[in-house]
Amino acid sequence: MSSEKPVKLRCRNVWKVYGENPGQFFKDHSGLVDDPDATYQKIKESDHIGAACNVSFDVHEGEIFIIMGLSGSGKSTMVRCISRLVEPTAGEVILDGNDVLKFNEEELIDFRRHKMGMVFQNFGLLPHLTVLENIAFPLKIQGISEEKRLARAREVIDLVDLNGRENSFPRQLSGGQQQRVGIARSLAVEPEIWFLDEPFSALDPLIRRQMQDEFMRLQKMLHKTIVFITHDFLEALRLADRIAIMKDGRVVQIGTPAELVLNPADDYVMEFTQDVPRVRVITAGEIITSADTDSGDLPTVDAQDNLEKIMPLFGSSPEGLIVKSEGKIIGRVTPQCVVNALASESAK
C-alpha cells in the first residue's frame, strides 16, 4: 500500500491569498496553526480571495495522489504552489526534506529542470518542431548534447508508443497523440515527481479512456510519484491511490477511493460519490476471509482489483479466488464475501 512507503512530498499549512495585501494575515504565522478558520474568515471579510487555505497532505513514493474538486475549488492552484509557478503566501512544501518554498532562483531552476515533470490540459507543443525535437527540447535546455538528448527522446517515444511518428509535426497528430508527446516530453528528464493538471480533460471520451489506460500502463513500469489534478470523480476512481477533495480552497476529505465513496465526510463529498457503483470501489483486499496460503488451483487476483473486475471469475471458480498483494498471498475472497460486503453497504 502507498501509505506504507516513505513520504516524498509534504505540504503543510499552504495558503495562497490574492488581494491588496495578502501577507498581512501571516506576519506572525499564528494563523497557520492556532486558528486557521479565523484566518480564513478574516481573509473573506477583507475582500481578499483564499485560493488555497491551510492545505496539508503527504504524497508517498510511487503514489498517484489526486486532487479534485469543482472549478474554483483550488486544485490547480495547489499544484502551481507546489511547483512555484505561483508563489504561496504562506506554508511549507517539503520535497525529500527540503523546503521548495525556500529555494533560491538557481535551486528552483534545478528543481524544475531535473526533478519535476509537468503535463497540462493544453499540450503546449512547439508547432515548428517535430515529435522527436519536441520531446528532446527540455534536454536541450539542460545543455545535454544532441546525440544524448535524441537518444533519450527515442527511448520515451518507444515508451508512449509513438514509433513511426518521430518526424511528424504537432498539426499532423490526433489529440491523443499530441498528449502522448506532452507526456513523453515531461518524462524525458526522468523526473522524481510528476505533476499532471487535467491532462486528459480536453480529449474526446473514448480517447480519454485510452489515455487513462496508457497512463496506468506507464505508471506500472515507472512507479513515479504523481500529483494529478482532475474534476472528474470517475477518472479519479480509475487512477488514484488516494484522493483529496477540495472546496473553496480547503481540503474537505482525504482518503482512498473506497473510503470516500463508502464514508463521505459531508454532503459535498457525497455529491461526488453518490452515483458510483460500489462494485467499482470495494476491492478484493478489503473483503478477504483469511490469510489462506493454500492456493491450490484457484485463480489469483490482486488486492487492488475491484469487485467489478473479479466477480466474473467466480463463474469458473465458485469456491473462491486467492488474493495477492505485491506478490504475496494475503487471503481468499469468496462469492459470499462479495454478497456480505454489498449487503452491508446497502444497509447503510
Sign of CA dihedral 26, 30, 34, 35: negative
**Percent of the chain surpassing pLDDT 70:** 94
Indicate if the pLDDT at residue 33 is higher than 60.
no
| CATH numeric code, 279-346 | 3.90.1280.20
pLDDT at 68 over 60: yes
Query: Does pLDDT of 161 surpass 90?
Result: no
pLDDT tens readout for residues 251-305: 999 999 888 988 899 999 998 888 888 888 889 988 888 765 566 788 999 998 9
- Which CATH architecture does the domain made up of 61-83+100-278 adopt? 3-Layer(aba) Sandwich (3.40)
Q: Report, as an integer, the average pLDDT of 82-87.
A: 94
Whole-angstrom distance, CA of residue 214 vs CA of residue 83:
25
Q: Which tops the pLDDT comparison, 124 or 322?
A: 322
pLDDT of amino acid 286: 86
Report the C-alpha gap between 68 and 76 in whole angstroms: 9
Cell of 116: 519535476
Of 139-143, 193-197, 289-293, least confident by mean pLDDT is 289-293
Cell of 51: 485560493
- Rounded to the nearest integer, the mean pLDDT of the chain is 89
Query: Residue 145: pLDDT band by 50, 70, 90 thresholds?
Result: very high
Confidence of residue 242 (pLDDT cuts 50, 70, 90): very high
Q: Residues of CATH 3.40.50.300 domain(s) within the chain?
A: 61-83+100-278
- Domain(s) labelled CATH 3.90.1280.20 in the chain stretch across 279-346
